[in-house]
Structures are given as C-alpha cells and as structure tokens.
Amino acid sequence: MKAEHQERYRELGLKIAYYRKLRGLTQEQLAEQVDRTPAFIGHVEAPNIPKAISLDTLFDISNALSVPVYKFFLFESDNP
C-alpha cells in the first residue's frame, strides 16, 4: 500500500464499520458472509491499522451490507 493512500484505506474501513453496525451485524457475522476471518474484518475497520483490501472483497462486503459500492469511496478527506 502506498503511504499516500493510507488515509483513504482508514476512511474506507470506518465506512465499512459504520454500515456493518447500521445493519446490526457483528464483525464475525460479516466475516462469515464474505468468507474472511473476524480478525481480517477487525483489521480493515481499525482506524490505526491501514489495511488494503481487494476490490473482490470490497464488492463482497458491499453485497453483504446492501450498500452500493460507490458509497465506500465518498472520502471526507477529498472535501475541502
């Protein structure tokens, strides 16, 4: 992961956590639905651990949470 993208990965993880909680799912439940470990989901969502994820995984998360994938890319850091 490029250092210049770390903030975006952090925001992406926070959005995943937000929508997961909004849907009433635990990290374990989401992990099961996307065929990942709870630790993986925890690392993705952790604001202090920049964790890259593949588009395939993001699309799986998008489907599991019923959230259009573009919503994960509306980064606060892009707004002036």
Q: What does the pLDDT look like over 18-63, one tens digit per residue? A: 999 999 999 999 999 999 999 999 999 998 887 889 999 999 999 9
Q: How many CB atoms lie within 10 A of CB 4?
A: 7
Per-residue confidence (pLDDT) for residue 41, from 0 to 100 = 97
> Which is it for the CA torsion 38, 69, 67, 47, positive or negative?
positive
pLDDT at 76 over 90: no
pLDDT at 16 over 90: yes
Per-residue confidence (pLDDT) for residue 80, from 0 to 100 = 56
Per-residue confidence (pLDDT) for residue 13, from 0 to 100 = 94
Domains delineated in the chain: 3-75 (1.10.260.40)
